[in-house]
Structure 1
Amino acid sequence: MAGTDEVTVVVPAYNEGDRIGPVVRELTQTYRVLVVDDGSTDNTASEAETAGATVLRQPQNAGYVAALKRGFQEVTTEVVVTFDADGEHRPDDIERVVGPVIEDRMDLVLGARTTIPRPSERILTRLARVKVDVIDSGTGLRALRIGLARNLDLDTACTCGTFVLEAAGEGARIGEVPIETRTVQKPRGIAWQHGKQLIHVLWYLLFS
């Protein structure tokens, strides 16, 4: 089993004070955990630290993508895993996405959810499939080589579609494994950024 010497789990978090503690406690049983507090106005940072994570604080809310990029710059292990802060993902699935990377069979492995909640995410994934054969381009659970992670520009509205398209442009070997998610009681607002993301995905398909 891969552990703290090989893998760092990066958890972007914004106002997840009610959920981040249990998430970190599960993860730190096996992995190094780096929480990037994205300018939260609640106790996200202190809860994450108490639970055992190393915490990086963004001075203001800059968004999920900016938090990921900050985390990638600070990771010192060869493999990095991205993991959502809300408790949706199961730590047991990390080994499944990490394995092919550590075994040098893949450079990026996505944890494909059985259900993708937002129609806009499904549309963006269908577009991304023009170039990359994946079924869940917007998953928050991924494992990848740190060198690849740092080479990605990630200058788009979110990661849906473009994360895998950009990785493919870097020549990455991309794989996918099915995962089960847990039900999380939290409001899901309208993902307005997916309108901008559609333009980004189309740009990658046409010009990259």
Structure 2
Amino acid sequence: MATSIVFSSLLAFCFCYVSLAFDPQPLQDFCVADVGGAVRVNGVVCKDPKKVTAEDFFFSGLQEPGNTSNPSGSGVTPVFAAQLPGLNTLGISMARLDYAPWGINPPHTHPRATEILTVLEGSLHVGFVTSAPENRLFTKVLQKGDVFVFPAGLIHFQRNVGYTNAVAIAGLNSQNPGVISVAANVFGSNPLISSDVLAKAFQVDRNIVETIQSKF
């Protein structure tokens, strides 16, 4: 009997843990983000419902291409709770991704969201890598109208493999999925990670690490 109770308790704990790993479900019709509010919670505090208008559920801007004049040749236009307050507590967001010819969206992760990508224009080479110890790469070349999914927390990337601009729309199951760019976070941290640590981790000369760090 005692064993059964312990097992049931552990099972309940596991289900609770899984449910807490994603954005909480709303307990009311909406909770429009009070972006300018002084109170900070795990998310954004609700705006007074009496002051909510249709504009709180509206965003305009995805018709405009993102800026791709950068070293990566890509631009991201996010539509998270910060840009669309009505998304607060709803557990979803989206983004427009633009790629110059041969531009990339560098390897990165979304710690709080799975991403589903739809190609609107162009051809994209996409992929993600599974966790250790397998480190297995799943990759595919997508054409206009194709869809690909990147599981939550896994390193993934996109690359325009055409001679014209490419455009995609991404949907994510978090109002604030977060972005950890592998290169920028590792080599451009503030303060910098010791070059000795990175040299040993990447098995390269310290001068190479310092050269890469200088670019971030």
After TM superposition, the score normalised by the length of structure 2 is 0.22
Please identify the structure whose Cα radius of gyration is greater.
Answer: 2
Which of the two has greater helix per residue?
1
